[in-house]
């Protein structure tokens, strides 16, 4: 950590933020609680916990983790003082990879063969199958969006991931 630095970049490979901890001045890690700007109604975000201290809350804005208050050198151990737990990293793979899993939650891996089947059915003019596959694809996308919208464990948070329509072949 850096004294008085509020904004920390999250790894681009992070799937889900599980937990945030900050090391206090005694060398003990303390849990930092999630908060959302919608919970702060009576004060501007730039004024919320403006003075440096021991972070007690964090917010996710895009790929940034914002600490409230920002870490103060008299309150935290700056060296190796921030721990961020994520569910798992994304592993990129190519068509020859046989033991690598897609870089999103396993519950939704089925969307890949559904998309491939849909492309095949369209190419072969199998219109009854096309309609059924489109329905399955849309249901899986809805489930995926709901899952990822809750990854920050805030039931009031809006979805942060939106699957796009793409071909799979």
Of 20, 51, 86, which residue sits at a domain end? 86
Distance from C-alpha of 56 to C-alpha of 116, rounded to nearest angstrom = 46
- pLDDT, mean of residues 128-157: 82
Of 60, 86, 112, which residue sits at a domain end? 86
Do 60 and 105 reside in the same domain of the chain? no
Query: How high is the pLDDT of residue 90?
Result: 57
Query: How high is the pLDDT of residue 54?
Result: 96
Distance from C-alpha of 163 to C-alpha of 126, rounded to nearest angstrom = 25
pLDDT band of 98, cuts 50, 70, 90:
confident
Domain that holds residue 78: 7-86
Residue 2 lies in a domain: no
What is the CA 84 to chain-centroid distance, rounded? 12
Q: How many CB atoms sit inside 10 A of residue 32's CB?
A: 21
């991931």: which residue's tokens?
161
pLDDT over 70 (residue 88): no
Q: Count of domains in the chain? A: 2
Q: pTM above the 0.75 mark? A: no
């Amino acid at each position: 950590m850096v004294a008085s630095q509020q904004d920390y970049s999250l790894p681009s490979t992070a799937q889900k933020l599980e937990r945030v901890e900050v090391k206090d001045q005694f060398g003990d890690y303390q849990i930092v609680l999630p908060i959302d700007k919608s919970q702060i109604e009576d004060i501007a975000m730039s004024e919320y916990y403006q003075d440096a201290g021991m972070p007690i809350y964090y917010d996710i804005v895009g790929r940034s983790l914002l600490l409230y208050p920002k870490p103060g050198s008299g309150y935290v151990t700056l060296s190796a003082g921030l721990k961020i737990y994520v569910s798992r990293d994304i592993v990129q793979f190519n068509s020859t990879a046989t033991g690598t899993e897609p870089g999103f939650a396993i519950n939704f891996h089925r969307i890949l063969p559904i998309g491939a089947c849909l492309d095949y059915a369209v190419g072969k003019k199998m219109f009854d199958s096309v309609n059924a596959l489109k329905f399955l694809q849309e249901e899986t996308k809805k489930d995926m969006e709901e899952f990822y919208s809750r990854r920050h464990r805030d039931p009031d948070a809006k979805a942060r991931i939106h699957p796009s329509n793409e071909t799979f072949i």
